[in-house]
Amino acid sequence: MKKLLVTLTPSESKRLIAKGMFALEEVQTALKEGYLCITLGTTSSYLVEEILGEYDKTTHMAGVTIDKGLTVLQKDKRAFDAIFHKGEYLEGKKVVDVLEHMGPNDVIIKSANALDENMVPLVLLASETGGTIGSFIGTAAAKNIDVIMPTGLEKCIPIEYEDIIGRFGKDDWDYSIGMPVGIIAVSGGIPFTEIEALETLFGVEVLPIAAGGINGAEGSVTLFIEGDDDDIESAYEFMLTLKGEPPFPKVEHVV
């Protein structure tokens, strides 16, 4: 057994998570034989890029967190969801357009805003009708469609969702520096972090041991990785290629 230490910036984590999701058997099966629906979100945009090769990630989002606070991308600047059916990219479609045709062998990808201390994915809601998650979560549950929720470990928060329930909705704030929101837990969502990505790609054990940094490492996560000699060597070589992933491009056209 060997050990590997690595620190990943948020963009490096997003790339790792995307590559891990792309390697998942469920995702590959949905992409080749059924529907793979990649809804708007910064982390999920990296998966679209992995599939298409080139993609404007700055359009693949609705809500976004920037230095001024929570906000949303202008509607006329947003991409549609990235919908694939049997390998074909269906441009100009949203997940709600194909839901009636989907079933338990299909997959929906939805980035989360946070993971609570039990690793339950949480999604912020700026829309009064629940936004993207509100448009499909009931149908996904009814039809047993996998909802995979890529989320970097930087988004882990040290409380349970139960501590938040009933405390606020989007119209409950007295003051708000940024767009006011509500929040929902997606208990049926499958969290997919750097841990799951490395387990999928290399079959190794992963533990987060530190977080944060400076000089461009703000929001980073430091990982302990352990596995068989060949697996760790492969992971190490992979990490060398992953390091240096550019920061997420600057997002313009926010509300």
Q: What is the pLDDT along the chain (255 residues), one digit of tens a residue?
A: 999 999 999 999 999 999 999 999 999 999 999 999 999 999 999 999 999 999 999 999 999 999 999 999 999 999 999 999 999 999 999 999 999 999 999 999 999 999 999 999 999 999 988 999 999 999 999 999 999 999 999 999 999 999 999 999 999 999 999 999 999 999 999 999 999 999 999 999 999 999 999 999 999 999 999 999 999 999 999 999 999 999 999 999 999
4 within some domain: no
219 within some domain: no
Say which residues have a Cβ less than 8 Å from residue 202's Cβ, sequence separation at least 6. 227, 231, 232, 234, 235, 238
pLDDT at 175: 98
pLDDT at 174: 98
CATH no. for residue 125?
3.40.50
pLDDT at 173: 97
209 within some domain: no
Handedness of CA 186, 153, 180, 73 (dihedral sign): negative
Q: How many domains does the chain have?
A: 1
230 within some domain: no
205 within some domain: no
pLDDT at 75: 94
Domain membership of residue 18 as a residue range: 13-192
227 within some domain: no
155 within some domain: yes
pLDDT at 215: 96
Task: Tell me the helices (H) and strands (E) count for the chain, helix number first.
Answer: 7, 14
Q: Which amino acid is at 71?
A: T
Spatial separation of the C-alpha atoms in residues 95 and 110, rounded to whole Å: 11
5 within some domain: no
pLDDT at 49: 98
pLDDT at 8: 98
